[in-house]
Structure 1
């Protein structure tokens, strides 16, 4: 259970943020009609919308890739920071999605941006982006980088089985119908005050097989049937409910903070019922949350980045934000950040 309270004499903070959403909007009702029409079985009206609380999501078109969304978000973050790509000396592509197995998508992003930074991928399902922020922070503290750009480009909608062979296949891939696409990026560098104050995480790898996209690796290198998301949504939710609250309780106890200590609480959002259950179990006040899932669906590791971009301009120096990351595998992560 790695955890760390930062040395107040050495602080690294987020100094700019950007996000990007694809133009195409796909409603849950239209998606359900498409799935039922292509598969030939009937579904209760508005099933997807009622079960998930997701009304719409954004979908990347055929010419838009994970790197495309990451580059767009990165350019916005760099513009907000008034930086050139050559001002960055560490570039992390931290995402559950990628353009291809090899090379690392970070190199594709770097080539598009025109940066010369040390570039690599960080992958840990929907926790990838928060893990990337933490890794960038540690590398800056270690003197390996001066200024980092952490980006994510998520296209999980391509793992959505729009033409399942039957109801059983539809059910096994149901969690995939929550997906939407998005990109996000943050700039990290040394700050004189505030910054990332605390990081904690816990991993329950015995549950790694509960859900995921099995194709593309050495186990299933070929075969379209392995490219779709499969998982037991109820089991995933059960693990998160038990594990997630323990990490949050530990973080609050160790830091001496309470919910009133935070201007906002940004939590990875899968469905509306998941988010409501999170609020119920943790006691976080509803006004602290930045709710995006009804509009955008589950945008994987871009979730927290998109939320942060939406509230960043409203935050004042000294405001603290709690990030709560949840990822398949299964991992839980908290991060406390104070705006400089």
Structure 2
């Protein structure tokens, strides 16, 4: 276990000044997905099985010629436009995503080439916590004087790792979590602010559970194995881990900051399925009216989940409104971030 808190207590504060999102146009509903799997595999699946099990009705899916970088670039342009900035105004670009265009070079360079910026560019990858990790890294570099203004982007295309033609029911079950996936891009601009900003960051890591789920191909273990390019994992086991350790992280952040649920305008939590979200509310006591629910419409969009939720409510937030981010990622890691709108 590893826990670290970083609270801005000096004159320099770093805040979020622009939020962007990019969603692919193609929409795939759960019944169409079921029919596609049945037709391609012959596995008998009852009508409505995906929606009943997950609460997911539709998801967006990247089309031909759309990549992780494509979604990230779209979101980046949206965020920059909302912040009133040009690509040349950025001196740090972080591509923070579970998905990527390729193993090498860093996808951040592909995003930067499309934007036309000249910033220091790098990738950050930590499953569904990638985006929050990227925001934390960018904030830290600004506080350290290594950057003045940062752009953190994610482009998630986990639908590319879904097994469309499982060989049998056992293989279908092994990759079932993949059928919750949808694609999306998100981005935020970070820079110094006079008040508010990111007030607290915390994380807890339980790496002994790294093998519970993931996409295990493309690295040195399975460099050229197509079988390992599909997502596989035990969703119930991941849920048990998150339930076991998740509440302690939330208890710590509330104790440390002195903030209770009513102090937060919204609580943004990574959304896997509707039952996961309902269980989160049950065990944490977070009021349902503090949530921004996107999973029935968009599915599990991996690390883009929190950025998409923030984008939904950002323009309605007032100065002084606080938002709690709760990230859940394979590996396993849990992150919290408290942000106050300037």
Q: Measure, in 2, the Cα distance between the counterparts of 1:297 and 1:41.
A: 23
Quote how far apart the aligned CAs of 1:44 are: 2.0
**What's the offset of the Cα at 1:8?**
4.6
CA displacement, residues 126-172 of structure 1 (integer Å, 9 cap, x when unaligned):
00000000000000000000000000000000000011111111000
Structure 2: distance between partners of 1:192 and 1:114? 29
Q: Give every structure 1 segment of 4 or more consecutive aligned residues whose post-TM-superposition deviation is greater than 3 Å.
A: none
Where structure 1 has 5 or more consecutive residues not aligned to the other structure, the ranges are none
Correspondence 1:85-234 to 2 at 5 A: 85-234=87-236
1:295 partner SS: helix
TM-score scaled by structure 2?
0.99
Cα deviation, residue 6, structure 1 = 1.6
Asked whether the 8 Å contact 2:60–2:184 carries over to 1, the reply is yes
After alignment, is 34-43 or 130-139 more displaced?
34-43
Answering whether residue 64 of structure 2 is matched by residue 57 of structure 1, we say no
Q: Deviations over 1:311-338 (max 9, x none)?
A: 0000000000000000000000000000
Give the root-mean-square deviation of aligned CA atoms: 0.6
Q: CA deviation at 1:7?
A: 1.2
Q: Distance in 2 between matches of 1:96 and 1:287?
A: 29
1:2 matched residue in structure 2: 4
Which secondary structure state, in structure 1, belongs to the residue aligned with residue 6 of structure 2?
strand
User: Distance between the aligned counterparts of 1:192 and 1:104, measured in 2?
Assistant: 33
What aligned pairs does 1:271-310 form with structure 2 within 5 A after superposition? 271-310=273-312
Instruction: Tell me the SS of whatever aligns to 1:236.
Output: helix
Deviations 1:97-132 (A, max 9, x none): 000000000000000000000000000000000000
**Residues 43, 166 of structure 2: 8 Å contact kept:** no
TM-score by length of 1: 0.99
What's the CA shift for 1:179?
Answer: 0.2
Shift of 1:37: 1.4
Task: Structure 2 unaligned segments of length 5 or more: list them.
Answer: none
For the residue of structure 1 that corresponds to 2:112, the secondary structure is helix
Report how many residues are paired.
340
- How many angstroms apart in 1 are the aligned matches of 2:178 and 2:159? 7
Corresponding residue for residue 326 of structure 1: 328
The whole-number CA distance in structure 1 between the counterparts of 2:50 and 2:72 is 28
Distance in 1 of aligned mates of 2:118 and 2:43 = 52
Q: Describe the SS at the equivalent of 1:4.
A: coil
Partner of 1:67: 69
CA distance in 1, matches of 2:283, 2:46: 30
User: Structure 1: how far apart are the matches of 2:183 and 2:153?
Assistant: 14
Q: 2:13 corresponds to which residue?
A: 11
